Amino acid sequence: MDQAVISIVIVVLFTFIVLSIGMFGWAKKMDTSAQDYFVASRTLGFAALFFTYTATYHSASAFLGTGGFLYAHGISYWAIGPYTQTIGGILLYLFGSRIWLLGKKYNYYTPGDLLGAFYESKFLKVLTGIVLAAFVIPYVQLQLAGAGWITEFVTFGAVPYVWGATGLGLVVLLYVYLGGMRSVAWTDIFMGVFMFFAIVVGGWYLTNILLGGPTQAWLTIEDRTPLQLVLPGAPGYFTLPMAFSWTVIITIGLSVAAPHVIMRMFSATSIRILKWVAVLSPIFLVWIYISYVWFGMGTRALYPGIEFPDEILPRFLFEHTPVVFAALICAGGLAAMLSTANSQLHASGALLSRDVYNTINKNAGEKQLVTVGRVAILIIFVFSAFAAIQKPPLLAMLIALATGGMAQIFPMLFGALFWPRATKAGAISGFIVGTIIMVWFELGGINLFGMMPGFWALAANTIVFVVVSYSTRPQSAHIIKKFHGFLDSEEAKNMLKL
């Protein structure tokens, strides 16, 4: 059988399985309420929550970008990625347990619900909803672009980039549109398991046949590209300050402040589930790259001067392994992309429906909120797909822009959960200053003192937040009791033990 046909069959089969599981999730819905559509009626168990968190975390950058990163910057990756994932897990519990309690008590299910209530600000709720949804677009765009590239590559050009990006995007759109959080969680279980084995096995196999195993890979790297074994790597980009700023921003942006992560905190069926997901997720998130590190760095030692290092995994799979094996591993790459796109699309629907529309139209019914959420998902998809068709060349920059932008809600979230002295004026001014600096520095390519733009945006945001909070009147006693008083209460402790 023709190789392209075999690859097309595997991609179609994978897509069909994902779509079927998504439809199954839709069929499993408990009711037609907004709560069920957006947070699965807070019933996600361990497997669903674990894989929807981890599979969403690893995106196109896991399959493509990491290869490019390791090829270009060497061991710098290992100083950033594992630390963002592990510390992120700990923050997931520290913030997540409080977010879960407040969500359960007051029926919150978006970041805006919680922030708008603590800061008593509809403006803040709408602002965070719109800004976070806007930062979702480059993230979804990245996933669709990755899906387009992989599909074109795997099918030897038989399915062009644009068809791959839009076709797979439409599949995701269909089940997210219909099934909401349940479809997202069910598909993420399948895609999470699949992507883990695909990346580990693919990297391991290539390391063995190209480099002669892990030990030989290290020796080859030491012999031919020794600069890759230390920071800042051969191009000299990842100095210690730059690596540190990436670690801070990605930890916060992807593990705590991202809207889809906060919605997963609300979705857990119990705090015990959230707790074990938080501390066990780093094992999945870090170990998935164990073999990729050998392969990614070793490839540079053997084949310097590759023009598009993001493509090394699919390219070497198709050059050095049987087509069925290569296509299956690349389907794992598609899993990484689609599992992120579905969660981000879903979160953007919740943000625009609950935080924006429901704030403007307080009397909106449950069905109306779901309908608006679906329309919002459609709109975000159209924007993202359009942007993806333009073939974005800078995957890492898109990730930096999106995570840095999402990280800007961190100070105000910290205030609502841990610091009762935080005020509305502090939160709004910090968020606006942080977002403006983020976009300004990112678009202007400004890396002050060798650190990424998101870091400076977050630093400015935090300073403004604290200074303005101390300069303005605190939130009312009623609100502090409602939030921090409740979090310290016996009632909350009993809820945690359930």
Partner 1 sequence: METRIKTDEEYDEKAEVERLIKKHTYIMPRTKLGWVLSSIIIVSFLMVYPGLMWANTAYPFILGMPFTYVWLTFWVHVIMAAGIYAAKKLWI
- Under rule CB under 8 A, residue 97 binds partner 1: yes
Q: Which of 184, 293 has the CB closer to partner 1?
A: 293
How many other C-beta atoms are found inside a 10 Å radius of the C-beta of residue 284?
22
Encoded one letter per residue, x for contact with partner 1 by CB under 8 A and - for no contact, window 358-397 reads ----------------------------------------
Residue 417 CB partners (closer than 8 Å, separation 6+):
95, 98, 99, 102, 483, 487
Encoded one letter per residue, x for contact with partner 1 by CB under 8 A and - for no contact, window 233-252 reads -------x--xx--x-----
The site that binds partner 1 (CB under 8 A) totals a number of residues, namely 53
| Contact with partner 1 (CB under 8 A) among 215, 236, 394, 467 | 215
- Under rule CB under 8 A, residue 90 binds partner 1: yes
What part of residues 391-420 is at the interface with partner 1 (CB under 8 A)?
418-420
Amino acid at 461: N
| Contact with partner 1 (CB under 8 A) among 156, 204, 237, 276 | 276
Q: Which of 194, 266 has the CB closer to partner 1?
A: 266
Encoded one letter per residue, x for contact with partner 1 by CB under 8 A and - for no contact, window 41-80 reads ----------------------------------x--xx-
- Under rule CB under 8 A, residue 449 binds partner 1: no
| Contact with partner 1 (CB under 8 A) among 40, 87, 185, 416 | 87
Q: Which of 222, 491 has the CB closer to partner 1?
A: 222
- Under rule CB under 8 A, residue 491 binds partner 1: no
- Contact residues: partner 1, CB under 8 A: 75, 78-79, 82-83, 86-87, 89-90, 93, 97, 214-215, 218-219, 221-222, 226, 229-231, 240, 243-244, 247, 271-272, 275-276, 278-280, 282-283, 286, 293, 418-421, 474-477, 480-481, 484-485, 487-488, 493, 496-497
